[in-house]
Structure 1
Amino acid sequence: MNKKSIAAALALALAAAVPAANAGVTINGFGQVIAGTIGDDVDTMPERNFNSDIDFKEESLFAVQISSDINERVDVVAQLLARGYNDFDAELAWAYAAIKFDSGWNLKVGRQRTPFYRYSDFLDVGYAHPWVRTPLAVYNTPWSNMDGLGLSRNRMMGENWFSQFQIQYGEYRGDARFGGIIFDGTLKDFWGLSWDMEYKEWLSFRAAYFTAETSLDGTSLDQLSAVLASSGLSALADRMDYQQDKGEFYNIGFKAERDAWMVVGEYVFVRLADSIASDKKDWYLSGAYRFGDFQPSVTLGHRKADPITEVYAGIPATSPLFPTIFGAVQSQAYDDQYYGVSLRWDFASNIAFKADYTRFTSDTDVRFTSRDGADLISAGLVFTF
């Protein structure tokens, strides 16, 4: 979708959301204004583009959601989202029709959120969780939406368990943001499922699996792949680029919330077959306690990916291409730790102040990566309306 001003995009969405004069239309929204800095120009924070200056754009955003009941079975939803790091250009993040069937089944047709994570449905709604941002150790997938079909069923299982099952099929074509840089990404034959179970509204578990034919254009490996192909190493060239590789995503998680306490955690495994991308094994664990209008929290996270040494195993060390191939493979590996403390203050209705300190450290070989650690300090307002 071409980017356009918020006013123009809102007008288009409103026109789509009102198919009949008697259709009920609901407009609500959310946003956040976040300031952050890492305090030192030589430090880096993966998946965020902060520096020593105080930045108000990187994590700030504004969204408007419009929904309309066409009839008792069909709703339409459109969500317009403007991100600070994208100069607040509005994009149509959601645009789907939801059809209700009997026995709790629902079908969504159009652009919708993919339930990779526990907080996927409200991934951008800062007001919906205790942190300034969802934990970076896990929430780093560069895509969150898809265009296609989504079938779900909500139901009670016995007297105490609530079940939500979702299955999706479709594709994604658009931006893929890695380390603050935006590439062109494509997910074809994108399908998967998730299952969330909740016990007595205080304990929940979830699992998810998604897979797709994955392509990424514009990376630094494209040129190396072209050189290898021209040198007759076509198999290695195919592995070096990110084109039509089978991607797989696994997630498991839990949440326990009793009285003023909350503990939540997730684990993610990501594999991109037939490429030099290392298998990713990421997790976080967070605990929070609420007293009155205040909710402090502590979060630990870890990201781990080992280099796929078999890629260069057959290349002689004396080959002029070996150092470049070796460096490219090693650059895909990391061993990162995240330590964070956050504070949420609900000082007024539908608006909260949040502050966060996150320490990022890395045991990754610094010869092949810029992951040399950082201290991220951030604060701001989150709100809904």
Structure 2
Amino acid sequence: MHRTDNLTPRSIGLGLLLGLCIGGTAQANDDEKPMFTFASYGTLALTYSSEDKAEYNSSLLSSGGVGDSQSWGGEVDSRIGAQLTSNLGNDFSAVVQLVFERRYDSSWQPTVEWANVKYQLNPDFKLRLGRIALPNFLDADYRKVAYATPWVRMPVELNNLVPITNSDGLDLNYRQRWGEVQNTIQAAVGTAKIRYPGNGHANVSAIRAISDTLEYGNFKLRLSYSRANLDLDLADDLWNGFRQFGPPGTAIADRYSGHNKRVRFYGIGANYDPGNWFATAEYGRTTPNNFLGDRTGWYVGGGVRLNAWTPYATIAGSSVLSATSDPGLDTRRLPPNAAAVANVLNDSLNYLLQSRGPQRTYSLGLRYDLSRNTDLKFQIDRVVLPNNSAGYLWNRRDDYVPGRAYHVLTFSLDFTY
């Protein structure tokens, strides 16, 4: 048996592309559809943050950001994607999508976003096997394609509830029609592996996801639910430190550690788009049962299309339903040296609990469509933080003061080909 330890997204992608070429060529004479369809998309963006004592980023899985390390940067929202679809004949097709964006290790190596084979049993039923987009949000199928959305980025308050975008497994998609109403059910099972800044990783197993999308004219409504088992190695040294203090410390570690926890997500989103204007709203809640806390995220947004110009606005918010602080270990009866260690552990725990605090973002933006497949956007965000909250800021300096509002400016060029 050959080992697969050295498999990388690059080698997987090249191998699948080769496989698609072979499969597509074999069917070339029997199917009128093109053997291959190539598409690409991308965003070139420049982002600024007025908070100079912490880092702003739109993804929990990407290193870098703007603020403390640099006022302006292109790492937050820039990415390039390439997709190859192969018609294999006999109702089979396959797709591979590679994405180049800032990763957890500060590199820009490609990652395999999609890699699956689809069987179209009939016009209303399809089955896919491989790496597939998770159906959690309204824009799940084009979450990374900024050109397909009116704003610069999906509001981080909702986006960061479920930072993973795909799973490796199986999904089915079944569509029903009742007169002018179309209803689509998507169900998925699979697993995922996550890498995050600091060279950490997490295993997400036993993913079970289902969504129901109802469409009537210009109106769309999506309900979604997913659950999974999460094994997260973040802050393991902290939990091991607590366990050195016996049963009280073990209870704290068991409560907040990221190992062997059941995670659930509930979502609802709606969109109305008659053409010359649009309105959309989404709400989600996640219950990870660890230090990340039970959280909610939501946004409401809309805009008006005036020929090539689209001014828009959004309001987004997040809240934490679980405790954002904990007294930790009781140091009153501990020896001085042990008490000093316990105080450090307690401070570190509360730093973690405050790391995903509530926030609210007010955004104004303007989109200008240069051509059928290219746009320019400008967006300004005002992020308001309650007292003692750092929101989604990270890499906070010792002199960072929580609860301060700050602004984010973004200029971006989006394209699809």
Same fold (TM over 0.5): yes
Equivalent residues in 2 for 1:344-359, closer than 5 Å: 344-359=367-382
Within-5 A mapping of 1:144-293? 144-156=165-177, 158-176=178-196, 183-200=200-217, 202-217=218-233, 219=234, 221-233=235-247, 234-273=250-289, 275-293=290-308
> Which of 16, 20, 24 is 1:17 aligned to?
20
Contact 1:306 1:334 in 2 (8 A): no
Number of the residue aligned with 1:295: 310
1:302/1:40 Cα in 2 relative to 1: closer, same or farther (>3 Å)? closer
Q: Counterpart amino acid of 1:346?
A: D
> Does residue 413 of structure 2 align to residue 381 of structure 1?
yes
Tell me if 1:31 matches 2:16: no
Change in CA separation of 1:269 and 1:10 when aligned onto 2, cut-off 3 Å: closer
Higher deviation after alignment, 125-134 or 36-45: 36-45
Paired amino acid for 1:365: N
CA contact (8 A) 1:45 1:373 kept: no
Specify the SS of the correspondent of 1:87: coil
TM-score (norm 2): 0.83
102, 123, 127: which one aligns with 2:147: 127
Deviation, 1:216, is 1.6
Residue of 54, 59, 71 corresponding to 2:72:
54
SS in 1 for 2:306: coil
Change (3 A) 1:261 1:73: same
Please say if residues 340 and 358 of structure 1, whose CA atoms lie closer than 8 Å, have aligned partners that are also in contact: yes
Contact 2:135 2:209 in 1 (8 A): no
Which structure has greater strand proportion?
1
TM-score by length of 1: 0.89
The alignment of Structure 1 onto Structure 2 pairs a total of residues equal to 374
Q: Matches of 1:70 and 1:27 in 2, distance apart?
A: 15
Query: Quick check: 1:343 aligned with 2:366?
Result: yes
Q: State the Cα distance separating 1:298 from its structure 2 match.
A: 0.3
Paired residues of 1:45 and 1:360 also in contact (CA < 8 A): no
Distance 1:35 1:288, change over 3 A: same
Indicate the SS of the match to 1:70. Answer: strand
Cα drift, residue 3 of structure 1: 4.7
Q: Assess, with a 3 A threshold, how the Cα gap between structure 1 residues 167 and 9 changes in structure 2: closer, same or farther.
A: closer
Measured on the aligned residues, the alpha-carbon RMSD in Å equals: 2.5
**Secondary structure class of the residue paired with 2:346:** helix
1:309 Cα deviation from its structure 2 partner: 7.4
Unaligned runs of 5+ in 2: 1-5, 29-34, 60-64, 397-401
Structure 1 residue 164: Cα displacement = 1.3
1:40 Cα deviation after fit: 4.4
Aligned with 1:239: secondary structure? helix
Alignment gaps of 5+ in structure 1: none
**Alpha-carbon separation, structure 2, partners of 1:2 and 1:293:** 45
1:60-95: CA deviation from partner (whole Å, max 9, x where unpaired): 111110111111311111001111454321111111
Residues 176, 184 of structure 2: 8 Å contact kept:
yes
User: What amino acid is aligned across from residue 261 of structure 2 in structure 1?
Assistant: D
CA displacement at 1:362 relative to structure 2: 0.5
Query: CA 1:279 to 1:332, structure 2 compared with 1: closer, same or farther past 3 Å?
Result: farther
Note if contact 1:224-1:240 (Cα within 8 Å) is conserved in structure 2: no
